[in-house]
Structure 1
Amino acid sequence: MRTSIRVNNDLSDEELTQLVLAAEAVGVDQVWISHDLMLRSAPVLVGALAARTERIQLGIGIMNPYTVHPTEIAMVAATAQEISGGRFLLGLGAGAIDFLAWAGLERRRPMTTTRQSVAALRALLGHDDVSEEDLPDWWGESSFLRFAIPRPVPVYVGAMGPQMRRLAGRVADGALPLLSRPEMFTEARGDVLAGVHDSGRDAARFDLPACVWVSLGDRAEARRVMAEKLAYYGPSLSEVQLAPAGLEPADFQPAADLARAGDLDAAVALIDDRMLSLGIAGSPDEVTARCLELRALGAEHISFGPPLGPDPATAIELLGREVIPALRAAR
């Protein structure tokens, strides 16, 4: 049973270091740092964390091949692997259309671009099972790093839809599917395993975290923090993601309008229990119970994502003291 936390790159170096050190102290296996545009640089943050931590694996989730060429992403990944002593993990995805538009970029051929970029990255980063047919047109005899790394860098795909999840299973070492409802893990796992089967590789070597939103702490406060997240983020979820909960993006628009106008109390009041079911929010007992349901669905790695709780540092302490031991004891 593996665990990880996901944190946003809007945190300061001091805030991030505090959370990651807390996660390492309670036995969390991995930390993933987002690399959203116009915020802090995840590669720089990972470099700082590599010098301050000893055991925990450090991942960037995710970079994209539109703002940075795969060869430069490979340079980042290989250098991070070197300075961390082999603890680095690379997440790659097609990127969000809205974010790319901030930089005047189009997301062209996302499936093909992701497939070719993952293949190129894995080939550059020490993997010897890359299919030549997946490599991009620019690949050639000079496509190799000019320095050695301690071990191959695992490459994960940030996969939301079924096609991208299946692609991740076929070409990558892991996937990072954000589950808009925890119960969607069964569907996500089926898509990924279908891709692994297509590739003929060993499914036991593929890392598939069940990536969920978690808000842990005092029940009322934890639910409010989750409601604030959903008030802002809900309209951006796709119809496919929301349909299993009987929701659609428009259901969140009134709350989003209020939140953006600064009336957060009114926005939170519009987030009902059905909407809150998109994440896991509540006391340690409530969070443990929902996560045990994920274990029963076959999850062998649970990834806890922001907001984490009213006080993220306290939430990580509670994860380590109450939630994670219960998950590891489950069979």
Structure 2
Amino acid sequence: MTPVPAIGLCFTPDMAPETLVHLARSVESAGLDELWVWEDCFKQSGVASAAVALASTERIQVGIGLMPTPLRNVALTAMEVATLTRLFPGRLLPGVGHGVQEWMAQAGVRPKSPLGLLDEYATALRALLAGETVTTDGTYVHLDGVRLDWPPEVVPPLFVGGAGPKSVALAARLGDAYMAPCAWTDAHVADVSAIVTDVRGPGHPFVYSEIIATGPGAQERLDADLPRWGGEPGQGIGTAGDADALVASVRRLAGLGVNHLVFQPTADEPDLDGLVSLVGEVRTALHAG
């Protein structure tokens, strides 16, 4: 039998920052495993959001998906990740990726080679978090004898994301876990899972966000939300329905290789507290049966 994935919820960038504390506590109360925050330009800071969520809860793991490498100096990212990891051991799941290139251009940091930058960045970040003294003079990452005074006592797993085939393969090679975007068909999830498995073997941590809607008009709300993330209605993307539909979705995606499943509410979700409670019931049902 396929193991039950870790079940989480997204704090999406269209949610006001002041709602984060309540949501994080609701996610923990509902018995979920993870809360994932984002770092979309020019919305919430992923690190600040993760710090608030961690400080507001006691048990859940909090992921950052994903910190854009062009926007952040790698030494600063290492300092921030190390600090949070020491404060909240075993609970931070940091992630890095290319960032949306149009946004990177707006900020004046778009690289000529996102793949090259990600390779240099993740390599340096892992070394810094391991407590090493790092000197490197790459195309993008330049460090001269940099060492953290307060490296994490236990190095957190590094999640690395990417969407295209080359980015997926690189992310799988560089990271302790691979993080996918949302709004993919099952066939796309399966194809990407095959790439990750080819690079890292079966069972490599694979995070995927499933857009969901429940209650009256669920399918209509889901269909309306998909284009925001590049998905199209009628392609079997996302899940609309009750607890049984969500249970079936978890089992289906787990069978495709997803072992961290993050439920993502639609922008117009009318009852977020109710949705969180429902997802908690789904997790309980999955572990019971």
TM over 0.5: yes
Aligned residue number for residue 165 of structure 2: 162
Instruction: Return the alpha-carbon distance in structure 1 between the equivalents of residues 188 and 60 of structure 2.
Output: 27
1:263-302 alignment, distance < 5 Å: 272=233, 274-275=234-235, 277-302=236-261
Instruction: Return the alpha-carbon distance in structure 2 between the equivalents of residues 67 and 5 of structure 1.
Output: 25
The answer as to whether partners of 1:214 and 1:304 remain within 8 angstroms in 2 is yes
Which one of 253, 268, 274 corresponds to residue 314 of structure 1?
A: 274
Aligned residue number for residue 62 of structure 2: 58
Q: Secondary structure at the match of 1:72?
A: helix
Instruction: Return the alpha-carbon distance in structure 2 between the equivalents of residues 137 and 320 of structure 1.
Output: 42
Unpaired stretches in structure 1, ≥5 consecutive residues: 198-202, 243-251, 253-271
Which one of 152, 155, 159 corresponds to residue 152 of structure 1?
A: 155
Q: Residues 27 and 133 from structure 1, CA distance in 2 versus in 1: closer, same or farther, beyond 3 angstroms?
A: farther
Q: Residues 193 and 21 from structure 1, CA distance in 2 versus in 1: closer, same or farther, beyond 3 angstroms?
A: same
1:145-224 alignment, distance < 5 Å: 145-179=148-182, 180-197=184-201, 204=203, 206-215=204-213, 217-218=214-215, 220-224=216-220
The answer as to whether partners of 1:159 and 1:165 remain within 8 angstroms in 2 is yes
One-letter code of the match for 2:9? Answer: I
Cα offset, 1:310, TM superposition: 3.2
Instruction: Return the alpha-carbon distance in structure 1 between the equivalents of residues 39 and 110 of structure 2.
Output: 18
Structure with the higher fraction of residues in helix conformation: 1
1:1-331 alignment, distance < 5 Å: 1=4, 2-126=6-130, 138-140=142-144, 142-179=145-182, 180-197=184-201, 204=203, 206-215=204-213, 217-218=214-215, 220-231=216-227, 233=228, 237=230, 272=233, 274-275=234-235, 277-307=236-266, 309-321=269-281, 323-329=282-288
Q: TM-score, normalised by structure 1?
A: 0.76
Unpaired stretches in structure 2, ≥5 consecutive residues: none
Q: TM-score, normalised by structure 2?
A: 0.86
Cα offset, 1:135, TM superposition: 10
Counting aligned pairs with the same residue, the percent is 26
Instruction: Return the alpha-carbon distance in structure 2 between the equivalents of residues 72 and 82 of structure 1.
Output: 15
Across the aligned residues of Structure 1 and Structure 2, the Cα RMSD in angstroms comes to: 2.7
Larger Rg: 1
Instruction: Return the alpha-carbon distance in structure 2 between the equivalents of residues 17 and 162 of structure 1.
Output: 36
Instruction: Return the alpha-carbon distance in structure 2 between the equivalents of residues 20 and 109 of structure 1.
Output: 36
The answer as to whether partners of 1:5 and 1:31 remain within 8 angstroms in 2 is yes
Cα offset, 1:329, TM superposition: 4.4
Structure with the higher fraction of residues in strand conformation: 2
One-letter code of the match for 1:300? Answer: N
Give the length in aligned residue pairs.
Answer: 281
